[in-house]
Amino acid sequence: MSKSVQKEGMTSRDLQAAKRRKQLLQTAKKLFAEKGYHNTSTKEINRAIGMADGLIYHYFPKGKLEILHTIVQDSTEGKIQQLEKALKNMDADMPIRDMLLKIAHIIVDNADNELIVILIREQPLLTDEQTEWLTRTFDTVIGQLSVLLEKRMLKGELRRLNCKLMARQFVSSIQSYLIEQTILGGGKHRDQTESDKHLMELIDFLLECWR
């Protein structure tokens, strides 16, 4: 009876416990992203949610590292599927500019900033499986994206160019944008509108290049 799935038949106590666990993960994620895994003590996590020191080992018997792994697992789980599905169901008749914008948003919104920071900064601490996930995600997106671009090319909406490289170019742009916003950006928090404008600018330029 998985704690995270089974929601019916849970007593209020189970619910409370599930809530604690979730809160613990959220707080740890925030702190890990902010200050780094090694710079965040378990005590600090506990204090942040007003929890007794030992309780962490009730929820995560293998300790602090299990928390990190669980955070990454929970945050990435299903994301490839979501991405693949979204890309697969992309409407072929939608204007290409709208399509690219939509894809960009899916990637950017899907990738929460805290997760990105953790994945990059704490990568040596991740499991092999999780490290592999990073690579696979890129490849998947590029693969499916190049298929979509190819269709547009055949319809004459784009010049005849190497689709794979077009896809890589698109992903590189988004990646740069994300890294700038998370790792390098540090404190600069631009507002949503400005962010959107930046994405739009990127995509319009790409289209100009590809037409």
Partner DNA sequence: GATGAATGAGACTTCATTCAT
Partner DNA sequence: AATGAATGAAGTCTCATTCAT
Residues 84 and 99 sit within 8 Å (Cβ to Cβ): no
Q: Which of 161, 191, 197, 200 binds a second copy (CB under 8 A)?
A: 161
User: What are the residues whose beta carbons fall under 8 Å from the beta carbon of 48, sequence distance 6 or more?
Assistant: 27, 31
106/134 with CB nearer a second copy: 134
56 binds DNA (CB under 7 A): yes
Enumerate residues 98-157 that contact DNA by CB under 7 A.
none
Instruction: Report the partner that residue 205 touches, choosing among DNA, a second copy, none (CB closer than 5 to 8 A by kind).
Output: a second copy
Q: Which of 34, 53, 201, 204 binds DNA (CB under 7 A)?
A: 53
Instruction: Report the partner that residue 81 touches, choosing among DNA, a second copy, none (CB closer than 5 to 8 A by kind).
Output: none
12 binds DNA (CB under 7 A): yes
120 binds a second copy (CB under 8 A): yes
Q: Which stretch binds DNA (CB under 7 A): 49-57, 68-76, 138-146, 187-195?
A: 49-57
48/86 with CB nearer DNA: 48
Residues 50 and 58 sit within 8 Å (Cβ to Cβ): no
Alpha-carbon 97 to chain mean position: 23
Residues 55 and 77 sit within 8 Å (Cβ to Cβ): no
> Which DSSP string corresponds to 44-98?
HHHHHTT--GGGHHHH-TT-HHHHHHHHHHHHHTTHHHHHHHHHHT--TTS-HHH
Instruction: Report the partner that residue 14 touches, choosing among DNA, a second copy, none (CB closer than 5 to 8 A by kind).
Output: DNA
Classify residue 132 as exposed, middle or buried by CB count within 10 Å of its CB (0-12, 13-18, 19+): exposed
Interaction pattern, residues 60-99, with DNA; x per rule: CB under 7 A: -x-xxx----------------------------------
Residue with token string 């996930």: 133
- For binding to DNA (CB under 7 A), which residues are involved? 11-14, 16-17, 20, 39-43, 51-58, 61, 63-65
